[in-house]
Chain A
Amino acid sequence: GQNIDQPTEMTATEGAIVQINCTYQTSGFNGLFWYQQHAGEAPTFLSYNVLDGLEEKGRFSSFLSRSKGYSYLLLKELQMKDSASYLCAVRDNAGNMLTFGGGTRLMVKP
């Protein structure tokens, strides 16, 4: 089975840096995804890690350690529009499905 944990809520200040952690215990692993989801909207793809290390894409970076079952999403220079839920998802060995964590609701304050 798959078990994915991430904090339920986080608060950060505009302009700051925030790190959202995700730990997973899975029977199979074939990549980890991060999505952003604003309330009432679709999840938007942010990043995909399949190898260990850091992937940087503009203000967003994602890190993966497969041996530790651990990933984080780093958001720099926070903007008010970054207030959203951030979803960590692991793909199974067959590549058929993503298992999602419960999501981390990030609130950015002025």
Chain B
Amino acid sequence: NAGVMQNPRHLVRRRGQEARLRCSPMKGHSHVYWYRQLPEEGLKFMVYLQKENIIDESGMPKERFSAEFPKEGPSILRIQQVVRGDSAAYFCASSSAGGKGNTIYFGEGSWLTVV
């Protein structure tokens, strides 16, 4: 019973390149969340998605960042024209349903380094 799967685990990008992070939720889960953890800081909510829908993107930076969760395939967090400040761990989490009473499980994370 696989947990939340993220890839790549580690990604190095030069400034100005694009980064794509993928997340496959736990089996039976249809709700996906993305969080970012900057070095020595806490986890910060970015976006909450269900299949083909963005439910809450209040934590997403206004520019360069986008997320999707298509009908088929993993959820993708896309960062365009990366800058040094984007270097962080990006965690995906999933739950069986949104809202009350459902435990949220985290993936292993994708560590982005911008050089």
Partners in one complex: yes
A contact residues vs B (CB 8 Å cutoff): 30-31, 33, 35, 40-45, 48, 50, 87, 89, 94-103
Interface residue tally for chain B (C-beta within 8 Å)? 26
Say whether B45 contacts A42, CB under 8 Å.
Answer: no
Interface of A is mostly: loop
* Number of residue pairs spanning A and B whose beta carbons lie under 8 angstroms apart: 61
**Which residues of chain A have C-beta atoms less than 8 A from B48's C-beta?**
96-97
- Distance in Å: Cβ of B24 to nearest Cβ of chain A: 14
Say whether A45 contacts B105, CB under 8 Å.
Answer: yes
**Which residues of chain B have C-beta atoms less than 8 A from A33's C-beta?**
103-104
- Distance in Å: Cβ of A22 to nearest Cβ of chain B: 12
Say whether B59 contacts A97, CB under 8 Å.
Answer: yes
**Which residues of chain B have C-beta atoms less than 8 A from A103's C-beta?**
42
- Distance in Å: Cβ of B27 to nearest Cβ of chain A: 16
